[in-house]
Amino acid sequence: MGPLAGVRVIELAGLGPAPFCGMLLADMGAEVILIERAGSKAGEPLSLGRHAIYNRGKRSLVLDLKQPEAVAAVLALLASADVLIEGMRPGVMERLGLGPEVCLAHKPSLVYGRMTGWGQDGPMAQTAGHDLNYIALSGALWYAGQPGSPPLAPPTLVGDLGGGALYLAMGILAALLQARASGQGQVVDAAVLDGSANLMNLLLSLQSAGQLPEARGQGLLDGPHWYGSYRCACGGHISVGALEPQFYGLLLQKLGLADEPDFAQPYDPGTWPALRLRLETLFASQPRQYWQGLLEGSDACFAPVLSPREAQQHPQLQARGVYVERDGVLQAAPAPRFSAYPKPQPGPVPGRGVDGVAILREAGLAEAEISALLDPGLG
C-alpha cells in the first residue's frame, strides 16, 4: 500500500533510469507491470536477476514484442493502465507499433513516459551514450573534482537517477494529476541531458551572484578548506562542510585552531589552498574513528565517508530504517516517507515472467492466446 495505490503502470523493460522510475512508483504503492524482453539471457550485462533492486515490487511478464500478438496484448493491458514507461531509443516504440499516437488512441487518458539520454530530438538523439556522457555535455560534470584532476561524479547518481529517473517520475505524477482532472493524457519527454542541466540551477544561481567562478576549486562549494573530504590515518575519509561562520568557528575550536590567525579569514580564496593542505596534514594524523569521536554529533558540519554497509550500521540510519535487507540483498528502503504509511518496506524482486498468466487473464485474453504468447521458448 501507499499513496499511489490504484495507479497501474505498464513498464517496458530497459536499463538504468526508466526501471528506477518504475521502482519509485512501485515503492509508493502503484501496481507496476514489467514487460520483459523475450530471449534476454541471464548472463547479459546488468541482467541482475534477484539482485535487481530496481524491479522490486513489480509484476513480471515476458513478451516478444516483435510479434503482432504481443503488441496487441500490450494494447489490451493499456485499457486498464494509467501510465506507460519506456526507455528505448527514439523511434523504436513507433517501429514496434506502440508509439504515443497508437497508445493514446487506445487510451486517451494515458500518461506516456519516455526516458532517453539525449532527448527525443536534436542532432544527437540517435547516438549511443551513458550517464557520464550526458552529464558531461549538460554541464553537470563541470564542478565534479578539484583542479588538476579529471572531473568524476558518483556513477549514475547525478545523471541517470537524479536527472533522469526522478524527473521522469515527477513528470509522470504531474501529468497523471492533469489526466485525472481533464481525462486527457499526454507524453512526458524526460531526458538525462535536460534533467541534469536543470539540477545545475542552484549552482548557476551562485555563479550568477559571483560566488562560484567557472574555474574549478575557486567557489564556495569546491574551493575552501572548510568544505571538502579528507583522508585519515586509517585510509578512511571524513567530510566537513562548515559554510556558516558559527559552524566554522566551532570546527576550529574542536580542532584546536581557533587562535591561529591563518584561519581567521574563512572566505578569502587566497588562503584556501594553503589551509586545505594544513587540514589534510591534520586529518591524516588520526584514524577516522578519532575524528568521529571528536566532531560527530556537533554543529561543526561533519560526517564520516561511509560505505553502504557501514552506513547501514550508523545510528542515524538505523533510527530511520534507511537500509534494509530483503531476500539477502542490501537495499535502501522506499523514500520519501508518508505519515499515512509509516515504515515502508520494499517489495520483492519478481521472478522473470512469474506473473504472466495472471496479468494476461486480467487483460481478458483467452487461454489459447495466453499459451501462445507465453511459449517457454520465448523466455
**Active site (catalytic) residues:** 130, 160
288-295 and 245-255 are packed helices; what angle lies between their axes, rounded to 10 degrees?
120
Residue 80 corresponds to which cell in the numbers above?
486498464
How far is residue 150 CA from its own chain's centroid?
23
First to last CA, the chain: 30
Residue 35 corresponds to which cell in the numbers above?
514487460
Task: Name the E strands within the chain.
Answer: 8-12, 31-37, 59-63, 83-86, 111-116, 186-191, 227-231, 237-241, 302-305, 323-326, 329-332
Kindly report whether the peptide bond that precedes residue 336 is cis, defined as omega within 30 degrees of 0: yes
- State the Cα–Cα distance between residues 335 and 329, nearest whole angstrom: 18
Among 299, 206, 214, 289, smallest CA distance to 248 is for 299
What is the sign, positive or negative, of the torsion defined by CA atoms of 129, 131, 132, 138?
Answer: positive
| Local structure of 112: helix, strand or coil | strand
- Compute the CA torsion angle 17, 105, 361, 373 (nearest 10 deg): -70
